[in-house]
Structure 1
Amino acid sequence: MEHDVTDAAGATTGTVTLAQIREEPLSVDEVLASVQHPTCGGVTVFVGMVRDHDGGQDVASLDYSVHPTAQARLTEVSHVVAARSGAVRVAALHRSGHLEIGDVAVVVAASAPHRDAAFAACRDLIDTLKSEVPIWKHQHLGAGGTEWVGMP
C-alpha cells in the first residue's frame, strides 16, 4: 500500500507505507519494517495499548467503532503528515472491534534521515490521527457501566 506524496511541482516529499484500520491484532514489526529505508537513520515508533483505567475509573475492555469514512480519512491524514513533516516514510495501523487490556490499539511510525524529523513526524501522525480520524472508543468499565470516548 505504498504511496508517494508529492508537492505542487511533482517532487516526492514523503511516502505513506501503510495506513489501515484492522479488526485483527496489529504487528509492531510490520509497521517498523514498512518505514525502514536506506536513507533513514532515524526511526520512531509509537505503540498505544489498552490500559486498565481512564479518568479515574477502572476499564475492563473496550470496543472501537469506526465511521465508514475512517479509512479514507486515515489515508488522507497520513499523506498530510508525510508532506509537511520532512519524514521520508510514515505508517499507521489502528484496531477496530473488541480489545482487552494490554492489546495493541494503534501503531504509528516515521522514518527520516535524522531523529528530530522522525520524532516530530511520529508525534504529528498520532496526534492528527487521534483528533481527525473518526474512530470512537466504547469503554466497558470495571464497575459495570460503559462510557463513550472521542465522540464528536
Structure 2
Amino acid sequence: MNRFLIADAPVDIAALREALLKPEAGGFCTFEGWVRQTNEGRAVSGIQYQAFAPLASSEGQTILDEALARFEITATRAMHRTGYLPVGDIAVWIGVAAPHRDAAFRACRYIIDEIKTRVPVWKREHYVGGCAEWVACHHVG
C-alpha cells in the first residue's frame, strides 16, 4: 500500500489522520506545510507545484519506509500537492503515530527534511504584481 500521495486536488486530511489511529500508538505528530504570503521579502500570491508523479510517489514511499525502520513508530502517511495553490493552502502534510511522542516528533522531522531534499517536486512562485519564478524546493530548516 502506498502511504505517500501526490495529489492534484485537495486531500481529506481527516481520512489520512484516521488511518494512523492505532491502539498501540500513544502519540501523534503532524506537520502541515502551507503556502505563505512572502518569500525572501517578496509578496507571494500562490505557488504552482509540479512533480513527476510516479517517481515522486515512489521516493516518498521509500522515505516513509525508512522512517518506519529508523524510528520506533507505528504508522505514517504523507501527501504533497501539485497544481496551483493560493496562499494558505496545504502543500504538504505528514502524520506519524508512535507509542511515545519523541519518536513521533523525530520521525516527522526526518520525513519533511527528506521530502524537501529527495522528492522530485518543483515549485514556481507567483508574485503579487504578476511575475512568476522557479525557486529551489530543497531548503532544510
Instruction: Please say whether Structure 1 and Structure 2 have the same fold, judged by a TM-score greater than 0.5.
Output: yes
Alignment of 1:87-102 (within 5 A): 87-102=73-88
Of 95, 104, 116, 1:109 maps to: 95
Of 30, 52, 76, 2:62 maps to: 76
State the identity as a percent: 35
Task: Check the 8 A contact 1:135/1:150 in 2, yes or no.
Answer: no
**d(CA) in 2 for partners of 1:97, 1:124:** 25
- 1:124 corresponds in structure 2 to 110
Query: Deviations 1:90-109 (Å, cap 9, x if unpaired)?
Result: 11011011111111111101
Task: Check the 8 A contact 1:26/1:105 in 2, yes or no.
Answer: no
**d(CA) in 1 for partners of 2:121, 2:34:** 15
SS of the residue corresponding to residue 61 of structure 1 reads: strand
Query: Deviations 1:51-107 (Å, cap 9, x if unpaired)?
Result: 111111000111101024111111111111111111111110110111111111111
How many residues get paired?
A: 137
Alignment of 1:29-108 (within 5 A): 29-68=14-53, 69-108=55-94
Task: Check the 8 A contact 1:20/1:71 in 2, yes or no.
Answer: yes
SS of the residue corresponding to residue 25 of structure 2 reads: coil
Bigger Rg, structure 1 or 2:
1
Letter paired with 1:115: R
Query: Which runs of 5 or more structure 1 residues have no equivalent in the other structure?
Result: 3-17
User: Taking structure 1 as the reference length, what is the TM-score of the superposition?
Assistant: 0.84
SS of the residue corresponding to residue 19 of structure 2 reads: helix
Letter paired with 2:97: S
Which has the larger share of strand? 1
Q: What's the C-alpha RMSD, in Å, of the aligned pairs?
A: 1.5
